[in-house]
């Protein structure tokens, strides 16, 4: 247990440095790994949101006719294409119960493939992201993975082996299709903005998700307190489908 306690913060530091290095590469080929899981926390309780993971490849635009938002003037923009694969899972608090639980979040999971564009406006600093997500809810892989992790106490988990995955939404697989789009617009470019080390940036976010997995309008604010060795790709926001945004009064560029 002591080794596990030391491993989590070390792993978190390595991942943060690794992702920072990837995002600093600029226009070239990149591989990003995104995860949301409390096993990275120093005081891991392995509760609430169960977890997610996605691996994504980004590369210069190759196919220009795909139905994604982008800025049209090549001298004022940079468009990156991306493709990824991942999964996410949710569980109730009581993992030992095998019967459906009606007063807590249900078992649910998603396995997905996403592909899309990220378009950067080099003049204003705005970023457009749009993507298609194809996948299935209710497959067995997330539940089997969680059961294995709990059974073998990976990452220091001491919670029960989950017994209710047969009750998950869309059990045995249900197809999903989503089209997601978002815009991020700089309000304050920050101090020392023209250098690789900048700080205190303020950006507005807005967007929409439409499909049979999520249908949302979202909005928010992004604050970058400190950026070390950063480049344009830092403004891309990797995420697992089903998280983020709100409608904004901004005219989107034509597809």
Distance CA 237, CA 10 (A): 24
Distance CA 93, CA 51 (A): 14
Structural domains for the chain: 2-235 (2.40.128)
Cβ neighbours of residue 43 under 8 Å, at least 6 residues apart?
A: none
Reduced to 3 states, what is the DSSP secondary structure of residue 98? coil
Q: Containing H/E element for 148?
A: helix 141-151
Q: Over its length of 255 residues, how does the chain's per-residue pLDDT go in tens digits?
A: 445 455 555 555 555 555 444 443 445 678 888 877 766 666 655 565 567 889 999 888 888 888 999 998 888 888 989 999 999 888 888 888 888 888 888 888 999 999 999 999 988 889 999 999 999 999 988 888 888 888 887 777 778 888 888 988 888 889 999 999 999 998 887 776 666 677 788 889 999 999 999 899 999 998 888 776 555 555 566 566 654 333 333 333 333
Distance CA 83, CA 31 (A): 10
Strand partners, 117: 81, 130
């Amino acid at each position: 247990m002591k080794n596990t306690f030391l491993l989590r913060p070390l792993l978190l530091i390595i991942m943060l440095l690794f992702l920072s290095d990837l995002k600093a590469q600029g226009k070239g080929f990149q591989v990003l790994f995104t995860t949301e899981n409390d096993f990275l926390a120093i005081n891991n309780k392995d509760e609430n949101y169960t977890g997610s993971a996605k691996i994504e490849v980004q590369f210069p635009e190759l196919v220009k006719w795909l139905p994604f938002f982008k800025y049209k003037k090549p001298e004022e923009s940079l468009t990156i294409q991306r493709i990824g694969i991942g999964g996410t899972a949710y569980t109730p608090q009581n993992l030992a119960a095998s019967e459906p639980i009606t007063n807590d979040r249900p078992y649910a999971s998603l396995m997905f493939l996403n592909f899309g564009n990220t378009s950067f406006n080099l003049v204003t600093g705005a970023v457009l992201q749009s993507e298609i997500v194809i996948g299935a809810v209710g497959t067995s892989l997330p539940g089997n993975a969680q059961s294995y992790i709990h059974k073998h106490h990976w990452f220091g988990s001491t919670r029960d082996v989950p017994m209710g995955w047969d009750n998950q939404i869309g059990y045995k697989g249900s197809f999903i299709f989503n089209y997601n789009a978002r815009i991020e617009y700089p309000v304050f470019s920050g101090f020392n903005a023209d250098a690789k080390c900048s700080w205190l940036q303020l950006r507005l976010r807005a967007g929409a998700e439409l499909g049979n997995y999520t249908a949302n309008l979202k909005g928010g604010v992004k604050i970058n307190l400190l950026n070390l060795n950063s480049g344009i790709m830092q403004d891309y926001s990797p995420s697992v489908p089903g998280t983020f945004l709100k409608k904004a009064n901004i005219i989107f560029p034509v597809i």
